[in-house]
Amino acid sequence: MRILIVNPNTTASMTATVADSAARVANSGTQIEAVTSSMGPVSIEGYYDEVFAVPGLLVELAKGEKAGADAAIIACFDDTGLDAARALANIPVIGICEAALSATAFIAQRFTIVTTMERSRLPLEHLVHRYGMSGRCKVRAADIPVLSLEDPTSNARERLRLEIALALKEDKAEAIVLGCAGMADLTAELRAEFGVPVVDGVAAAVKQAEMLVALGLSTAKNGAYATPVNKLYAGLLEGFAPSRLATR
């Protein structure tokens, strides 16, 4: 089984963090291929970045499916471009926010997402509502830039810990969901430190991707995720016409 993981930002070191998290939980027969988008923002923090991350994501998804991937994961907690990706691809495509929330719902009645920037909090609240978890899940922002998680001289990890502590005390959270793919390498130590389940969306998505492939399931193509209508695209987006980017 081959699982493609696309980091829709252009920071390769974050892709390496994601790949390591995925490899730790993947079955022995699962091959993980983690790729970095070749175009777009270096990090995704808010609606504007999201929009410009989608083209590069779709290019890598199309290449990965053509190369034989059995499932794909979008390694951004905003589930960047998820609907477009599901329409384009013929393989299952999983967003790490949806994966994390669905996994956490099995083990806790009340839980909190702790994400990076305040500007990312409201988009995640919209996703929580979309996935039917508004009555069970709150969203907090530690107000740390995404890339500061990789900077050992920053206080990003300490601020993340402080926000988790507040979630446990004020939200009465029974579990914590890490609201950024760049936090994946912190899962084990945060579980040990706080004594509650801490869920990484990348790991959750890998196990869900393996399940869907094993069950022979893929995205329905007779409705919202139908293959895009073949038409011309103009200007800089000419190469994104469905016939040009088709995965088959």
Mean pLDDT by 10 residues, the chain (248 residues): 98 94 97 97 93 97 97 97 97 98 98 93 96 97 86 87 97 96 92 97 98 97 95 92 79
CB atoms within 10 A of CB 104: 25
Cβ atoms of 171 and 110 within 8 Å: the answer is yes
pTM reported for the whole predicted model? 0.94
**pLDDT for res 248:** 54
46 exposed, middle or buried (CB, 10 Å; 0-12, 13-18, 19+)? Answer: middle
Give per-residue pLDDT as tens, 38-84. Answer: 999 999 999 999 999 999 999 999 999 999 999 999 999 999 999 99
**pLDDT for res 244:** 86
- Smallest CA-to-CA distance from 36 within 72, 55, 2, 8 is with 8
**pLDDT for res 247:** 63
DSSP 46: S
CB atoms within 10 A of CB 95: 25
Q: Who contacts 228 (Cβ-Cβ below 8 Å, separation ≥6)?
A: 87, 88, 242
The length of the chain, given as a count of residues: 248
Residue whose pair of structure tokens reads 């994501």 in the numeric block = 57
**Half-sphere CA count of 182, side-chain side, radius 13 A:** 26
Q: Cα–Cα–Cα angle for 137, 42, 198, nearest 5°?
A: 30
**pLDDT for res 146:** 84
